[in-house]
Every structure is written in C-alpha cells, then in structure tokens.
A and B are shown apart, each in its own frame.
Chain A
C-alpha cells in the first residue's frame, strides 16, 4: 500500500513537472480561462440594453404621448428616430437603423377611451429572431404597465387577470447570472479533457508509455497518477472562474463551498475519465485531439449551457444523460444561485460517479490491451 502510494506520488510529481515546467504552458492553463470567462460574461448575453427603436406616432394624443414616455423612461429603449409616415418603416428596419418600429395608429386614444382597446403595432426585425423576440417582449411589458397606470388614473375597470412574474435566484433575469456559474464547469472541462486526452497518447507516440509499463507501476497506479494532475488543474481553473463570477461580476454566492467543490471534484473526475479513456484508445496525439474535438461540441450543446435541455427532442435528451457537463451545470447553478444543499443535489452527483466508474477502469484496461 505504502509502495503503491509512493509510486503514484512519483508519477503525479513527474506529470506536474512536465505540465508546469514551461512558463508558456503555465500561462496557457490560466489565461484562456480568465479571458473566456470575461468574454462570456460580457458578450454571451441575451439581455438587451438600449434597444434602438423608431417611433411612428400618427395619433399624437395624450394617450400616445403617455405610452411613449413610459417606453423612453424604462431604460430599455432608446428612440433613434421619429418617423412621419408608414413608408419609412421599411427602410428603417431594412437598414438596421432600429431593431423595432413602434407604430401608434391615428385612432389609438379614441379606441382606448371608447373601450374597444388601443392597438400598439410592433414591427420587429425577424432576421435576428432571438433579439426581435426579446425586444417585443419588452414592449409587452411596457404595455402592461401602461394599462395599469391608465386604469388607476382614470378609474377604468381593473383587468380580470394580471401576470406578475418574479424571477427567483436571478431577480432581474440577467443572462450573466445563469451563464457565468455554468462556465465554472464548462470552461474548465475544455482543458481538463484536452490535458488528459493528450497525456497517454503523447506517451504512446513518444514511446515512453512502454517504458512506463515495464516499471513496477500497475495500470491502476498509472491511471491514478495520470488522473490526479488534470483534476487538480481543473479545480484550480474552476476556482479562478468562481472568483471571477463572485468578485468581478459580483454575482452573490448562495450555497456552501463544500457542496460546490464536492460536485466539481466529481465532475472533473468524470471528465478526466472520459479524457483518459479516449487517450488510452488513441494511437497518436493527433487522434486523441480529433476525438476530443468531435466530442466537445455536442457535450457543450447538450449540456443546457445555452439551450434548455427540456426543449430538446426526447432522443437528444437521452444523450444528455451521458454528458457530465449536464450534471455539472445544473449542480453549479443550483449551489451557486439557489444555495441548494448537498442532499438536494444527489441526483446530479451519482451519474457523475457512474461516468467516472465506467471510464476510468476502461482507461486502465486499454493501457495494456490496446496494442500499437
């Protein structure tokens, strides 16, 4: 037992020296993670600020002015043009001067007063359906507010139903809040997979793996020695992203660090398992790289990072069960934003344990049985 630990420690030490010796490779382990988290934090957001809109107010009544004031005061919309005729709409949208055009027809106020209900026409740029949709939904919210104000002032009938949405755990529904904590898993996985996928393949290609196999190191010891360094590096990277989320973006951390790190440890181990199994299967580094890239894209897509898993076709949903990132993202979001405790996250943890228990022994088996 003692001898085993000593041999594993020696291998871990060698791996860490090989990875960290070169200052450039040290930088490569840290810089991309920092840059990517900042990049995702600022660029990958579905939230709209200062939506450029053009106004075509043909009514020019009290009601229309009140509505426009509401829009402009919301902080979301930025009026870039006042149109004078419907002919200008086409050009405004076509040349992307505005994302939406809001048209208040000539009978706007009359219809409200008469009880028939006024119409707000929203013309959105459908070429970017996502942004168009989001912008339109903001208008809906503005309409809602207008209704309640109007009725309060004029004592009109209170609508039968009113929706009041409260977004829990992310009160302002900021994409950043959902995105950055997910990156704690997603970004570190990228390099953890790469490191572990190259580790055995590199040794095979350079002939050092044979040299390793003729030492008294057992395949299981080699596996542990090869798994620990990328796990450590993965955890360091996760911590960097965590610190950026917490202190740079100021997203409040609701859960316990113990739960977070237990989850991350399981996740990184599962990811390293996949990487090592791929690596042990590959004949060359090039093959290992290729397998990793082929795998990374679907892993990112099927993780719930950008699109909700519940919206995917059911066949795809089954695929996500084999994806460690799926569990990691759910787990981290819930610990981070919701403060979920250990017990509530077991359903995210045991699949990670199973993935590790399949891939790591597979790697061990492949060490000796994959003939090159």
Chain B
C-alpha cells in the first residue's frame, strides 16, 4: 500500500486560472495541495472567492486544472473525468431541481438520469425518505418547498445512487438553523453508518468543526489545514470573553473593540463579547473585564486571515454619518398590532404585534417559511395585510402618500438592483427616484461609492459583480436618501464571516446615528448584534425581547440558554409542540 492510497482525493500544486472578458486573469487556485481521506468528512472553508467551488468542480471532473495533478478515487481527474463522475455525486450550490415537478418526479428524473434500476429504487427510496423526512411531501411541487426542504430534496436527488464520494458545495446557504442541523445529521449519518467519503465547502465554521479535516483557503491559497483541534490550538490563549462593568450593551462594546488594532476579532456572544486578541494577555481597559475562554474554529480562521490581510477588515466599514442629536430614542417608529396575512387557507402571519423604537436594531428570526419575508413586505407596503394595523414612521405605507416612502430604505433578500446597467447608473437612478438632485445627488453617490468601497467597480454592470459587492451596492442604494428606517431581508445570507462583520459594523454605526434597523437573518449568532429580536415560526410570534431575555425564555431553571442558536431551536421546538397539542385538543 502506498501513501496515495490513504487519500480518496489528492491534489498536488493545483493551479486554475479564469480569463475574464478583458485583459485580466483571475487565479482561482494557486498551487493548491490538499488531501481528503476516505470514510471521513473534509471541509473546505474560506471567504468568498477563496477557490472552494473551483476545487470541488475540479474534483468532480467538471473542469481541468491548468497545472498540477489531481487524483480522485485513484483516477486522474484530468484524463478520466467520466470514470470519476460515474462513481461520485456532486451537489452544486444551486442544485438543479425542476420547480414545476413534484418531489417524487424530481427523484424519479434523477434516478432515470443515473440509470438506477427499479430494484435499486425500491431499496433506496425508503432510505432517502427516512433520512430527509420528505415522505409526506412527495406530491408537492419542488418550487413550493421551503429553502431547507429544497436542499434536502437536492441531497436526496444527489444520493439516488450510492456514490463512493460525495461533494457538497455550500449545502446550507440560506437554510435556517433547524434545517441546517437536520441536513448535517443526514450527512454525518452517511459517513458514520455507510463509510461514505464527503468533501463539503462551507462558510459556517461551526459546520467545519464537525468535520475530521479542515482545509482553509484564501484567495486561491491554502492558509492552513488539519483537524479542527489542530487549527483551534493556534488560537488557544488568544480567545477571551469581554464584558462591560457599566452595563454597556454587547453590541456597543463589540463595536468599540473591533476598531482597536490589537483586537483580531470581536463578536457579541451570549450577552458578552467574544474577542480574539493579538497577544495572549487581556487588554487593560477601564470597566471591561476579560475572561479567557476556549477557542472555536472561527477564532483561528480570523487569526489566519488577519495574518494574511494585516488589517482589521471590519474597521473601515464604519460609515461616515451625520449625527442626528435631536432625535428622541424613546419614540416608537414602527407599530404593528394584530397583524394577519392569509394566502387562501394558509396563514402566513398570524396575529403579530410589536413595536420598534428609533435607533433600535430589531431582528426578525425564524426558520424558512416562518413568515419573516411576508411581515417585511407588509411593513414596506408591498403587500396588504388581511387584518390588523401597522404604522411605519406614522403611516401605513400601503395607503399613505408616496412621500411617506421617503422615510424607508429596503434591501431585498435576493439582489434586486438593475443587473444590466452599471453600479453608478444604479446609484444615479435610485438617487433620482428618491428625489435627490444635482449636487446633493452627486454628494450622496460619492458617499456611497466611498463608504461601500465601490469606486473601483463604478462602471461595471451590477449583474457582473461578485456576490459581496452586489450586497454592498444594494445596501448603498437603500441608504442614499438617508432613510429613518432601513429594512434588510437576509442581508448576510451566503456572506462569508468577514463580509458579515463588515455588514454589522455598518449597521451598528447607522443605529448609533439614529437610524432604525429591521433585519431578518438565519445566522443566530447575529441576533446578538440586535437590540431586540422577535422569533417567528409558522406565522406565529414565539418570543420577543432583548437577546438576553430570549435566551432566558429558552433556558431551563433560570439558566439562560448557552447560545442564541440553542435558544432559537428550543423556542421553535417548544412552539411546535404547543401547536401540535392544541391541534390534538381541537
């Protein structure tokens, strides 16, 4: 047995370049060497543009590397791509489900495509149904499934035959924590029970922690690789939990800390701030205590990236804003009372009431299909409510005069600016649509290009921008007219950890200057950046309050839940049990 047999996939000095329209070439992978062991989970992690997808596509035999060698299942990926594809399964980021076909028809289609015999299907289907719990929905159209269920169906379609190697490209993007947990249980089950080998790319570090081996990529280079423990040990002694003695909210403390050059990373966590420091010594700050804590994988990743970029990435994300000192922070700017929205028999939002005060960051959390987006669209006046009242900045935007919309900014879930015109033209259009003119418009557009680092790309068509730039552009366009209230629907979905920190830094500075923020998110730890959060499931409001209060509500025996994610899953599961009991009683 030679050494190569220890790896199911092995790449040596892989280089892959892409030529863009004009002169410039992008080196997606630059002399990358890595290995994945059989019967185990290997994670590819790294920020957007690190080369994760390229590496997976090379391994799937869908592209050839420009240089270097790649062996998959003992076969040369460059010479025998078809032989490899016959033995592996690959689930791309956007899996090609046929939205107009039912769940069953999608499965059958993929089984037909892979030539799975009826006998094999009889054996395979029940297993897949058991894993994915899709059995009750076999007749439902794939297009009508929630995001989490779509991903599960995609995985089921990928697994209609038994592959020797499974490649998953960011399988949990846009999937809520509950469905995410379920998906990972399926994948780990396959590895443990069937000895399947899996390579998965992800931007969630908690997912990478579940893998046996982690490869950290950054701009086409391998920054580090090893077991999660090996990687985490790099950060040992650097991780602390910081807490203010004066009762400063975690979000504010985080914002102060992350701007410091000696701080590598800071995120609010469980009412405190998780900090990664450059030195192993706690900082001596007035009224702030630092407790050493055990590192997590994200800490090491941030350290690795910091060594690479040499600059605190989120530091320059703070926005230049004019302070609105005269604002009254106790003023209620959003008032929702008994809001109901039905689509036919289906109740998307059920008797929901809440208030948001000026300058608050208000988070709407909930699994896919919980009614977050519906609530959002009603608040923005895009959808009429079935019953109940709502007031945004003193008016129901659906009935109010058009000028009332001057008060709000809206960033939709998916990129929804004009893809076929340039960044600058998009900004000019939205500036004009919000009534900004001449020098005022020019000044605000300049501000947007500067503060969102879009200057270099001003003349690129918006549709050709990488995802991270599109998200920044969308936010910039929504802020041109300095709205009093900003609505952001899943602004960080699919964003890497760096981009997310930048985003929250911007949100923090907006809120500090009196802008009210309403935001939905799938990332539970991000709830900690909010002043108050509301958890929705199946259209019903389950919890509302500060992150601390919500954690306490989810906790047992007076002890608050450890993390926001635990709190969220606890509350949603309690809510579902309650709903089931009520159904039985009725």
Contact = CB atoms under 8 A, between A and B. Distances in A.
Contacts of B397: 214
A216 B433 contact: yes
Contacts of A3: 435
Contacts of B420: 18, 21-22
B412 interface: yes
Nearest to A211: B416
Interface residues of B, number: 30
A281 B432 CA distance: 27
Interface string A195-220: 00000000000111011111111100
B306 to A, nearest CB: 36
A11 interface: yes
A216 B383 contact: no
A229 to B, nearest CB: 13
A206 B428 CA distance: 19
B402 A216 contact: yes
B478 to A, nearest CB: 8
A349 B227 CA distance: 79
B437 interface: yes
A216 B416 contact: no
A210 B403 CA distance: 16
Contact of A208 (B381, B382, B417, B425): B417
A218 B406 CA distance: 12
B110 interface: no
Instruction: Report the contact-size class of chain A (Cβ under 8 Å from the partner).
Output: 20 to 34
A6 interface: yes
B443 to A, nearest CB: 17
A10 B425 CA distance: 10
Contact of B412 (A11, A14, A211, A371): A211
Chain B interface helix/strand/loop/mixed? loop
A243 interface: no
B414 A214 contact: no
Nearest to B432: A10
Given A215-B434, A216-B433, A207 B414 contact: yes
A208 B397 CA distance: 18
Interface in B92-124: none
Interface in B406-433: 406, 408, 410, 412, 414-421, 425, 428-430, 432-433
A210 B432 CA distance: 17
A216 B435 contact: yes
Contact of A14 (B382, B402, B419, B429): B429
Interface of B: 377, 380-383, 397, 402-403, 405-406, 408, 410, 412, 414-421, 425, 428-430, 432-435, 437
Interface of A: 3, 6-7, 9-11, 13-14, 17-18, 21-22, 206-208, 210-218, 371
23 contacts: A7-B432, A7-B435, A14-B425, A17-B421, A18-B420, A21-B420, A21-B421, A22-B420, A206-B416, A207-B412, A207-B415, A210-B377, A210-B380, A210-B412, A211-B416, A211-B417, A212-B433, A213-B381, A214-B380, A214-B397, A216-B405, A216-B435, A217-B433
Given A11-B433, A208-B418, A218-B402, 13 more contacts: A6-B437, A10-B428, A14-B429, A18-B420, A210-B412, A212-B433, A213-B382, A214-B380, A214-B381, A214-B397, A214-B408, A217-B433, A371-B383
